[in-house]
Structure 1
Amino acid sequence: MAELLKHQFFTPDAIQHFAETIFQHHPAFDRETFTTRVFADGWEAKELKARMRHVTICLHETLSLAYADALGILKLAAPAIKGFDGLCLPDYVERYGREDWERSLPALGYFTKFASSEFAIRPFLDQDPDRVMPFLLQWAEDDDQNVRRFASEGCRPRLPWSMALPKFKRDPRPILPVLEKLKADESEFVRKSVANNLNDISKDHPDLLLDLCERWQGQDARTDWILKHACRTLLKAGNPRALGLFGHNHVICATIEEAHLDNTRLSIGETARFSFTLNLNEPEPANVRLEYAVYFVKANRQVSKKVFKITENVYEPGTYPFSKRHAFVERTTRKHYPGKHRITIIVNGDEKAEMTIELQ
């Protein structure tokens, strides 16, 4: 997927559009020089974020202006350069505006309306979070959902594709007032970011998140959705307190029987098919979270557990058959290795049955 993405953005047409847009607001901008610099030797070997930074540097070299003057031109151009291709505008601030906070922080809040500034804000947060925090609180109340999302996404302790924020990993409490403002936001785009931020927090401070869930739960349906999504890592880990918050009794009278693999030997790229029966022996209907886990063999012969959800529902006492399939196909996010892989069936966080498959 990443290999495909790097060819979807910063294409020749996109770079030409970028150059023309800058030229409209700064006629001294040499479009041909800029384009030649962008696609110079080494372009094909660069991955997506490296291409973004390369475009930023080429832009700076071709503009050849003082930071404040360049920023004025980029602000005029921003509405016409949206999405991933526009990320080099906030990246320009990150690369060249770290000594000019008075201009740079408002610029990031403006650019994020067109192309997210979530990556560019992080070096500023890492350097002086107390100085950035008033801006985050202000952005969390903006009318534009892109700006409100940026307030949450930019301060995530573990934002993918970006640098972590060690200070917030150690103590995420300064983030919470920002998330408090967004906990019932009308925009699903914003709510997903809040949930992801809280999920980041759960990986280092599970009890802090669970305490917050107990305070926030039941206030608003939108907040409840955020909390459920925020607890996904804890739920998959079988955390009893997280399970209890969402009505799943960790101690449930249930068994898994007749767990069966259609084929216990597969080649990488093939699909495992398995079936089992859930026997629910509770005296009354029970809230059941049913999952399976695959223990993947890694390159160093250690194993890595990954949990996959099957269903989550209220079941009457009784017997329920299930069948599932799992594809052992190569992905950019997972490479498979030969060896014995275990598949377990999980009921409300408790592994109830196990099967073994030989991958070759």
Structure 2
Amino acid sequence: MATPQKGTGFSLKDQLFNVDRVSYLASCFHAADARFDAAGFVAETMKDLKKLELKERIVHIASTLERYLAADYKVAAKQIAAALPPPLDPTKRDNDFGDFIFAPLGEYVVRNGLEKRHLKLSLKTIKAITQRFSMEDAIRAFINTHPSETLRTLEKWSTDGNYHVRRLVSEGTRPRLPWSGRLSIDTTTAIPLLNTLHADPTRYVTRSVSNHLNDIAKTHPDLVLETLKQWQQLSQQDATELQWMCKHALRTLVKQGDRKALALLGFSPSPKITVTDFAIHTPQVRPGDAIEFTFEITGRKNESLLIDYVIDFVKANGSTSPKVHKIKQLRIKKGETVSLKKRHVLRDAATTYSLYPGIHHVTLQINGGSFGTQSFDLQ
């Protein structure tokens, strides 16, 4: 999927949901059942589509589809299953999210099949759709409405032969899934499911597991650390992959300088190093300019180092908000000196912060500890 660039006129909603994609969806239903009014469905859908935002388009297509499928949900679910194209390529191992045009099918299932009498059929339908487009948003409605029954089904799916189904188990139960509503179940409920999924051979699944743990770490850091230690002891996952998973799962804690997280990743919380000549060479800057700073690190013993820097951005009310940025990870030898230089552009239209004038501070953060602070004046 293309990444939108500022000023290019790129529209994600128009790329994902347009007349061509709607026509394709209609053709899938018409190919499965010639009685499906493809032309009518496309015309009615497109009448109001362009004025809607992305998620509104998903709901709109689903609601329009209700007037073109059978009124009996059991029959409509069979129509959906029959209209699905072949599953996504099972030989791929990552980044195969699927075709967004099938997202409205999940919305349709939620809107029409959430009653308990439809639960078994709805979950079966979601399982089929997720092999064409990830159903992590749709499954959350069933977790919230029928937690026990849905979690039992997800437990079975955690060992399913299709990796898209297995990923759904982790992604659908994430406590802080982007663009989705919160779950009513406890944040830690899915840990037993992750215990199974952590040994998965597919990066698409293990990335989801790691993101899931990163969500949990924001409220239960010690539980995440203990879980990762247990996985290391079990040795069920390839050691290199598990190390990657640990790093990805602990990224928020690492940014916070959590000493336990850094220790689990092999970084000493008290590295034997000396930092010298830390200096900012741009004491006065304006929005759009870059700050530049240099420093040297000398190893007093062999050390693995995770080098970050923290900028305390001035806020509108005069207080400051710290933002952690990466520099690099390196292995330094005893007696070795490494010279480092960093250039950071202060973007005037950043999406994660706003720039305000005042004295800003830059702190070197190495293995979670502070190793000096320098300042610059944003004018």
- Structure 2-normalised TM-score? 0.86
Determine whether 1:217 maps to 2:223: no
The answer on whether the counterparts of 1:330 and 1:336 sit within 8 Å (CA) in structure 2 is yes
Aligned residue in 2 for 1:239: 258
Determine whether 1:25 maps to 2:17: no
Cα distance in 1 for partners of 2:346, 2:80 equals 46
Determine whether 1:56 maps to 2:62: yes
Q: Which runs of 5+ in 1 are unaligned?
A: none
Determine whether 1:188 maps to 2:207: no
Aligned residue in 2 for 1:316: 333
Cα distance in 2 for partners of 1:293, 1:258 equals 17
Secondary structure of the corresponding residue to residue 67 of structure 2 = helix
Secondary structure of the corresponding residue to residue 211 of structure 2 = helix
Q: Cα deviation per residue 1:47-98 (whole Å; 9 max; x = unaligned)?
A: 2222112111111123352211111111112226952121111221122211
Pair 163,285 (structure 1): closer, same or farther in 2 beyond 3 Å? same
How is 1:295-306 mapped onto 2 (pairs within 5 angstroms)? 295-298=312-315, 301-306=318-323
Pair 259,331 (structure 1): closer, same or farther in 2 beyond 3 Å? same
Pair 49,295 (structure 1): closer, same or farther in 2 beyond 3 Å? farther
Aligned with residue 74 of structure 2, among 68, 71, 78: 68
Q: CA deviation at 1:252?
A: 2.3
Cα distance in 1 for partners of 2:349, 2:57 equals 23
Pair 123,302 (structure 1): closer, same or farther in 2 beyond 3 Å? farther
Cα RMSD (Å): 2.3
Pair 185,46 (structure 1): closer, same or farther in 2 beyond 3 Å? same
Cα distance in 1 for partners of 2:310, 2:304 equals 20
Q: CA deviation at 1:28?
A: 3.0
Secondary structure of the corresponding residue to residue 79 of structure 1 = coil
Secondary structure of the corresponding residue to residue 167 of structure 1 = coil
The answer on whether the counterparts of 1:217 and 1:227 sit within 8 Å (CA) in structure 2 is no
Aligned residue in 1 for 2:125: 107
Aligned residue in 1 for 2:92: none
1:154 aligned partner, one-letter code: G
Cα distance in 2 for partners of 1:331, 1:126 equals 38
Cα distance in 2 for partners of 1:31, 1:302 equals 58
Which stretch of structure 1 is more off in the superposition, 259-268 or 231-240?
259-268
Aligned with residue 289 of structure 1, among 291, 306, 312: 306
Question: Paired residues, what number?
Answer: 354
Aligned residue in 2 for 1:268: 287
Q: CA deviation at 1:321?
A: 0.9
Q: CA deviation at 1:166?
A: 4.1
Pair 122,315 (structure 1): closer, same or farther in 2 beyond 3 Å? same
Secondary structure of the corresponding residue to residue 364 of structure 2 = strand
Pair 303,72 (structure 1): closer, same or farther in 2 beyond 3 Å? farther
Determine whether 1:199 maps to 2:214: yes
Q: Cα deviation per residue 1:249-304 (whole Å; 9 max; x = unaligned)?
A: 11223343322333233333333332222233x3x201211111223344555433
Q: Which runs of 5+ in 2 are unaligned?
A: 88-97
Tell me which stretches of 4 or more aligned residues in structure 1 moved more than 6 Å: none
The answer on whether the counterparts of 1:21 and 1:80 sit within 8 Å (CA) in structure 2 is no
The answer on whether the counterparts of 1:152 and 1:179 sit within 8 Å (CA) in structure 2 is yes
Determine whether 1:138 maps to 2:144: no
- Structure 1-normalised TM-score? 0.90
1:307 aligned partner, one-letter code: V
Which stretch of structure 1 is more off in the superposition, 102-111 or 303-312?
303-312
Pair 188,320 (structure 1): closer, same or farther in 2 beyond 3 Å? same
Cα distance in 1 for partners of 2:52, 2:377 equals 37
Q: Cα deviation per residue 1:13-69 (whole Å; 9 max; x = unaligned)?
A: 11111112212223333223322332234x334222221121111111233522111
Q: CA deviation at 1:186?
A: 0.8
Cα distance in 2 for partners of 1:126, 1:332 equals 35
Cα distance in 1 for partners of 2:256, 2:132 equals 37
Q: Cα deviation per residue 1:296-329 (whole Å; 9 max; x = unaligned)?
A: 3445554332222222222113321111222333
Which stretch of structure 1 is more off in the superposition, 83-92 or 255-264?
255-264
Identity of aligned residues (%): 33
